Amino acid sequence: MTYRVVQWGTGAVGVEAIRGILDHPELELVGVKVYSEAKAGTDAGVLAGRNPVGVTAEVDVDTAAADAVLYAPRHPSVDDAVAILASGANLITTAFAFHPARMAPADRERLQRACAEGGSSLHGTGLNPGNLGVVIPLALAGMSRTVEHVTVQERADWSVYDSTEITFDQMKFGSPINEVDAHTDGLRFTSHLFREQVWLLGDALNLGVDEVTTELEVIPASADRDVCGRTLRAGTVAGQHWQWTGLRKGVPVIEVETLWTVGEPQPKHWPAPRHGWTVTIEGTPSMQAHLMTLASFRRDVPLEEHVRSASVATAMQAVNAVGAVCDAPAGFVTMADLPLSLYRGAR
Ligand SMILES: NC(=O)c1ccc[n+]([C@@H]2O[C@H](COP(=O)([O-])OP(=O)(O)OC[C@H]3O[C@@H](n4cnc5c(N)ncnc54)[C@H](OP(=O)(O)O)[C@@H]3O)[C@@H](O)[C@H]2O)c1
């Protein structure tokens, strides 16, 4: 069986997805959606740094003939998602919908109706939220007799992430420190995605989570810094410590924590897990796993390549889920519903 796939968005994740689709033995790239006129008309292979493949990137792309759309825009749009799902294409996204059942009711109902109309499924996945933030904790918990508490920590420096629109405009690094809190536009949206992750872990593990709280501490830059060609000024936001906590009757049972800096040393009062992702389950037995993505553990490669490996992993978790999402019953399909997304060899 070959699944026909449209790649929606050709940023850091989208370009890696194109490479992944082209290499995947069960997938065929049938369309590419771009936002910038400058990229429109370019061959998808060329956008991915390869030879032409005969698929042209377009601003207006028809999804009706596709089995799946791999949706990786900078800002997801419920309107676009509804149109794609209603056209009959399954939607796999790294950008939102990690636990659609816990979305705002108006959006959830529209998406549900679109799935019913198109006989299609909606699946959100990636790295965190995604494989490392959800699939790994769920897999570890499969060895548990009791789970008392789950912690997922991400420690990362964003200074070489080349999507500076996301770093500065969406995530508000480089913004005046007194203008940024958990409710600031852009951050509120991102925060909601991590809140969905807490609900998903709580619901999937049946931990009785009845409330999710959000805390954010921001720290200022101690000096001006160049971040992929943009300047992050001294005194503006250079670090964010987020904590989303799932409570059962007031007692924390799940904590998802991100320790994000942009070239700034972490303050001493922050927790200091190793860079990457640390998953800790307190229970019977208690378990801990530390995970990281690199371009190689053997070869000497530039830092940018190591950083890019996180985009490869994000994209491939979605690419490798295409077949299972297409085969799933219509509706919302979470990472807790799908079988393991397996690597299937490369063409
Ligand atoms: N779950 C995870 O672990 C995870 C990890 C990383 C990223 N993500 C998410 O995945 C998505 C893609 O990330 P990325 O690193 O590839 O971002 P990116 O490099 O900033 O690229 C984003 C894409 O957005 C497109 N774009 C431009 N203007 C837009 C607009 N007004 N509205 C919507 N999209 C617009 C760009 O169009 P062109 O194609 O024309 O350039 C590009 O394709 C983001 O939503 C990001 O938050 C998730």
Q: Do residues 77 and 114 make contact, with C-beta atoms less than 8 angstroms apart?
A: no
Element holding 238 (H helix, E strand):
strand 237-248
DSSP 68-88: EEEE--SS--HHHHHHHHHTT
Q: Do residues 171 and 315 make contact, with C-beta atoms less than 8 angstroms apart?
A: no
If you search the block for the tokens 């208690």, which residue do you land on?
A: 286
Task: State mean pLDDT over 82-87.
Answer: 98
Ligand 1, closest atom to CA 14?
A: 16
CA distance 238 to 220: 5
Q: What is the pLDDT of residue 149?
A: 98
Task: State mean pLDDT over 106-128.
Answer: 98
> Quick one: pLDDT band at residue 304, thresholds 50, 70, 90?
confident
Q: Do residues 97 and 122 make contact, with C-beta atoms less than 8 angstroms apart?
A: yes
Element holding 164 (H helix, E strand):
helix 164-164
> Quick one: pLDDT band at residue 347, thresholds 50, 70, 90?
confident
CATH code given to domain 131-292: 3.30.360
State in Å: Cα 76 to ligand 1 middle: 8
If you search the block for the tokens 């799933």, which residue do you land on?
A: 328
Task: State mean pLDDT over 139-148.
Answer: 98
Exposed e or buried b per residue across 133-167, where buried means at least 16 C-beta atoms within 10 angstroms of its C-beta: bbbbbbebbeebeebebbbbbbbbbbbbbbbbebb
State in Å: Cα 62 to ligand 1 middle: 19
Quick check: 232 pLDDT over 80?
yes
Percent over 70 (pLDDT), the chain:
100
Q: Domain locations in the chain?
A: 3-127+312-332, 131-292
Quick check: 230 pLDDT over 80?
yes
Type of residue numbered 223: A
Ligand 1, closest atom to CA 39?
A: 40
Q: What is the pLDDT of residue 231?
A: 96
Task: State mean pLDDT over 183-207.
Answer: 96
Select from 8, 15, 74, 191 the residue to mutate for testing ligand 1; criterion: most ligand atoms less than 8 Å from CB.
Answer: 74
Closest residue (by CA) to atom 9 of ligand 1? 95
Q: Residue 171: which of 71, 243, 238 has the closest Cα?
A: 238
Q: CATH for 3-127+312-332, among 3.30.750.24, 3.40.50.300, 3.40.718.10, 3.40.50.720? A: 3.40.50.720
If you search the block for the tokens 């000497």, which residue do you land on?
A: 300
State in Å: Cα 269 to ligand 1 middle: 32
Q: What is the pLDDT of residue 162?
A: 77
Q: What is the pLDDT of residue 163?
A: 84
The region of weakest confidence among 23-32, 204-213, 215-224, 296-305 is 296-305
> Quick one: pLDDT band at residue 286, thresholds 50, 70, 90?
very high
Task: State mean pLDDT over 96-108.
Answer: 96
Q: Residue 136: which of 296, 17, 290, 273 has the closest Cα?
A: 290
Select from 6, 7, 13, 55 the residue to mutate for testing ligand 1; criterion: most ligand atoms less than 8 Å from CB.
Answer: 13
Task: State mean pLDDT over 298-314.
Answer: 93
Q: What is the mean pLDDT of the chain?
A: 96
Name residues contacting ligand 1 (CB within 6 A).
9-14, 34-36, 39, 72-75, 94-95, 126-130, 163, 165-166, 311, 314
DSSP 79-121: HHHHHHHHTT-EEEESSS-SSGGGS-HHHHHHHHHHHHHHT-E
The token duo for 176 is: 């005046």
